[in-house]
């Protein structure tokens, strides 16, 4: 059964217990978004994609200014999202003999998010060069955006993880998220570099996704 939607997007922030102290630290408690999925809030400086299998969605602030706050979902919670949002498998026409079949939401597939992707070498540095489509960064609901973050990385991993060049996946995921948050269509292709270390997300944003 579908979870009830309130259509009040601000509930995400109202229902969260969020306290910002004079030092700028963020104290958060688990809360529930407007679709009924659990999340916690986190500042970019507290996000480390190498520690946990987490997926995020921007809820306030500007990543460029360093004041962004993200809703953080676990992979387990996004599995609930998948189960609760069936797709529609539909033939060319509908009838009693040709009914609509509902099925659990699944990956949108590589071509939904990207035009192309390939390994390149620049100045002796290996990169996964990704040419994104608008679907790779445009938003939907808060939980929907977190699911998109998971799916757009999963389809890249499915295509490229068998390569010996695929290393440090948590860093690649963080770089991909950074490009979706900042670069969008302004700077393409998105070049993801496996040699980059894992750092907190704020540092990656500060360096415009390109650590040197």
Go through 100-136 and write b for each residue having 16 or more CB atoms within 10 A of its CB, e for each that does not. eeeeeeeebebeebbeebeeeeeeeebbbbbebeeeb
Q: How far apart are the first and last CA of the chain?
A: 49
Contacts of 87 (CB under 8 A, 6+ apart): 102, 103, 104, 105, 106
pLDDT for 16: 42
Query: Which residue's entry shows tokens 């987490």?
Result: 54
Q: Residue 83 — very low, low, confident or very high, per pLDDT cuts 50/70/90?
A: confident
Q: Characterize the bridge pairing of strands 54-60 and 69-74.
A: antiparallel
User: Given this model, what pLDDT does residue 202 score?
Assistant: 93
Q: Per the structure block, which two tokens stand in for 212?
A: 């040197």
Q: Taking residues 146-173, report their average pLDDT.
A: 96
What was the pLDDT predicted at 166?
Answer: 97
Which residues, 6+ apart, have CB-to-CB distance to 164 below 8 Å? none
**Distance between CA atoms of residues 84 and 37, nearest Å:** 10
CA atoms within a 13 Å half-sphere pointing along the CA-CB vector of 102: 7
pLDDT-based confidence at residue 203 (cuts at 50, 70, 90): very high
Query: Given a cut of 90, is residue 139 above it in pLDDT?
Result: no
| Size of the chain in residues | 212
Question: For residues 118 and 89, which has the higher predicted lDDT (pLDDT)?
Answer: 118
Domain ranges of the chain: 11-75, 107-206
Of the listed ranges 38-42, 78-82, 101-105, the least confidently predicted one is 101-105
Q: What is the pLDDT of residue 26?
A: 55
Res 105: pLDDT? 53
Q: Which residue has the higher pLDDT, 85 or 33?
A: 33
User: If you average pLDDT over every residue of the chain, what do you get?
Assistant: 81
Whether residue 4 is predicted with pLDDT greater than 50 in this model: the reply is no
Report pTM: 0.80
Distance CA 203, CA 46 (A): 10
CB 88 within 8 A of CB 66: no
pLDDT for res 24: 53
Q: Among residues 16, 26, 34, which one has the least CA distance to residue 144? A: 34
CA-to-CA distance for 166 and 128, rounded, in angstroms? 9
């Amino acid at each position: 059964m579908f979870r009830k939607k309130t259509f009040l997007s601000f509930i995400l922030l109202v229902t969260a217990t969020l306290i910002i102290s004079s030092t700028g630290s963020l104290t958060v408690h688990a809360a529930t978004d407007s679709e009924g999925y659990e999340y916690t809030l986190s500042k970019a400086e507290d996000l480390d994609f190498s520690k946990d299998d987490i997926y995020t969605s921007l809820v306030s602030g500007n990543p460029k200014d360093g004041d962004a706050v993200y809703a953080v979902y676990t992979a387990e919670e996004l599995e609930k999202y998948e189960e609760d949002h069936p797709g529609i498998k539909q033939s060319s026409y509908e009838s009693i003999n040709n009914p609509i079949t509902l099925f659990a939401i699944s990956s949108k597939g590589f071509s939904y998010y990207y035009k192309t992707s390939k390994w390149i070498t620049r100045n002796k540095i290996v990169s996964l060069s990704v040419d994104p489509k608008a679907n790779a960064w445009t938003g939907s609901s808060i939980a929907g955006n977190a699911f998109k973050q998971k799916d757009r990385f999963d389809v890249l991993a499915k295509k490229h993880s068998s390569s010996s060049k695929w290393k440090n996946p948590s860093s690649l995921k963080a770089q991909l998220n950074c490009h979706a948050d900042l670069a969008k269509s302004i700077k393409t292709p998105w070049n993801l570099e496996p040699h980059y270390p894992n750092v907190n997300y704020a540092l990656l944003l500060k360096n415009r996704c390109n650590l040197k």
